[in-house]
Amino acid sequence: MIVRIGVDIAVRAPHQAALTDERGELLWSGHRFRTNPVELEQLWSKLPQEVIAAEVTVVMEPTRNAWVPLAAWFRRRGATVVLVPAERSADLRAYYAKHTKSDRLDSVMLARLPLLHPDGLNAERGLGPGDPLRRATKLHSYASQASHGQHRQG
């Protein structure tokens, strides 16, 4: 069985999750949780028993830095984490809002997105917001070492 967890990330409030199967059928929705090990384990325990880690995809928008610890936690469990650009999910959300009445719309829409728009998913490969800072630090370190080397020579 292949499942997809749609996570609507909140910065101050609890996040909300929904689970669909490979056909997009909703298995559950409205699960609220915070970014802490106990609540993440509770969320993970809601997955069907026949699911193995290689068959779990977590779909979320890269909301501020709040997505980074969630992505790391899910990846450690063996899940594939994909990020959806905010403008792409906003377009789909607008369509769904016209045809669906639900306060759980975002997490359900994110869980179904791999079926509706598979090209709109980007595999998560790093820590996102920290990457530019890491590159800048590396460049600064290299430039600093080079200038010290030149200073000693002169």
The structural domain count of the chain equals 2
Determine the angle formed by the axes of helices 37-45 and 67-76, rounding to 10 degrees.
50
CATH of the domain at 62: 3.30.420
Q: With pLDDT > 70 as the criterion, what percentage of the chain qualifies?
A: 54
Nearest-angstrom CA–CA distance, 142 and 44: 43
Across-strand partners of 33? 15
Residues 48, 8 share a domain: yes
For residues 66 and 10, is the Cβ–Cβ distance under 8 A?
yes
Same domain, residue pair 133 and 59: no
For 77-110, give one letter per residue: b (16+ CB within 10 A) or e.
eebbbbbbeeebbeebeeebeeeeeeebbbbbbb
User: Which range has the worst mean pLDDT, 47-56, 117-126, 130-139?
Assistant: 130-139
State which residues form the domain around 83: 3-123
Q: Quick check: 86 and 113 in contact, CB under 8 A?
A: no
Q: Residue 40: what pLDDT?
A: 97
Say yes or no to pLDDT of 133 above 60. no
Name the least confident of 33-42, 116-125, 135-144.
135-144
Nearest Cα neighbor of 60 from 38, 44, 82 is 82
Q: What single-letter DSSP state applies at residue 14?
A: P
Using alpha carbons, select from 28, 22, 23 the residue that is nearest to residue 43.
28
Q: Are residues 62 and 76 in the same domain?
A: yes
In terms of domains, do 86 and 154 share one?
A: no
Max avg pLDDT among 35-39, 56-60, 148-152: 35-39
- For residues 78 and 131, membership in a common domain is answered with no
